[in-house]
Amino acid sequence: MDVVERAAALRDYAEQTASCTKCALSEGRTQVVFGSGSPDADLMFVGEAPGFHEDQQGVPFVGQAGKLLDKLLGGIRLTRADVFVVNVLKCRPPGNRDPQPEEIAACEPHLFRQIELIEPKLVATLGNFATKLLSGRPAGITRVHGQEQEVTLGVRTVHLYPIYHPAAALYTPSMLKVLEEDFARIPALLERAVGETSDVSEKPAPPVLEPDPESVQLGLF
């Protein structure tokens, strides 16, 4: 898919999702918070669920945690326009309570479809819920933050990078430091992930190796 097709497919999917009633959260929401950013992003962030402000504005991470996310992005010279930001749940849980297993199960096809359409090369999971869902493992964020791993989602392999949720770092300076350190590794991880997953047909053909006379003499060819 080229950029234009990808953007159109994502817009269509956002329109379909806007009327989702797959779980009871649809009854209390102001609107579905689909996600925002570049449809062509190589880097995707997956948070937990919309809060009050996100539910009001229809955009993920616009509250305090979002301001910190913007600052952390700025620290690695990125803006929201360079990435795509989504949540595990697209609708706000009442009183910002934790997502329930049946809500996650109902909503996960939306997340998987977004990943399929955007084809990010690196997916940074923010906190426990996104990390456990996309890694398919029970290990929590305290144990696995900062440890990149490869996961197969549908037919694609993506690089997963679990990091703390910005909300966890808002009031705990020691956690903020860890989050900043984990963020600082993103540019290098992204470069590697983009290099590894780029279409082989776009790469220049490998040079044809001619044996040099000395190697031939030494019997290396």
Size of the site for ligand URA (CB under 6 A): 13
Residue from the set 50, 93, 120, 162 that interacts with ligand URA by CB under 6 A: 50
Residue 35 interacts with ligand URA (CB under 6 A): yes or no: no
Residue from the set 39, 42, 48, 158 that interacts with ligand URA by CB under 6 A: 48
**Distance between CA atoms of 22 and 53, rounded to whole angstroms?**
22
- Pick between residue 38 and residue 125 the one whose CB is nearest to ligand URA: 125
CA dihedral in degrees (209, 214, 219, 221; nearest 10)? 10
- Exposed, middle or buried, 216 (CB in 10 Å: 0-12/13-18/19+)? exposed
**Distance between CA atoms of 22 and 186, rounded to whole angstroms?**
34
* Binding positions for ligand URA, 77-96, rule CB under 6 A: 87
**Distance between CA atoms of 98 and 37, rounded to whole angstroms?**
25
Contact 34, 90 (CB under 8 A): yes
Residue from the set 20, 39, 44, 61 that interacts with ligand URA by CB under 6 A: 61
- Pick between residue 49 and residue 144 the one whose CB is nearest to ligand URA: 49
> Smallest distance, Å, CB 2 to ligand URA?
29
Element counts in the chain: helices (H) and strands (E): 11, 6
- Pick between residue 30 and residue 157 the one whose CB is nearest to ligand URA: 30
Cβ contacts of residue 108 below 8 Å, gap of 6+? 88, 133
Residue 124, H or E segment: strand 122-126
> Smallest distance, Å, CB 144 to ligand URA?
18
Residue 99 interacts with ligand URA (CB under 6 A): yes or no: no
Residue from the set 10, 32, 49, 190 that interacts with ligand URA by CB under 6 A: 49
- Pick between residue 39 and residue 51 the one whose CB is nearest to ligand URA: 51
Residue from the set 47, 93, 99, 162 that interacts with ligand URA by CB under 6 A: 47
> Smallest distance, Å, CB 29 to ligand URA?
13
**Distance between CA atoms of 35 and 83, rounded to whole angstroms?**
11
Q: Could you list the residues that contact ligand URA (CB under 6 A)? A: 47-51, 54, 60-61, 63, 65-66, 87, 167
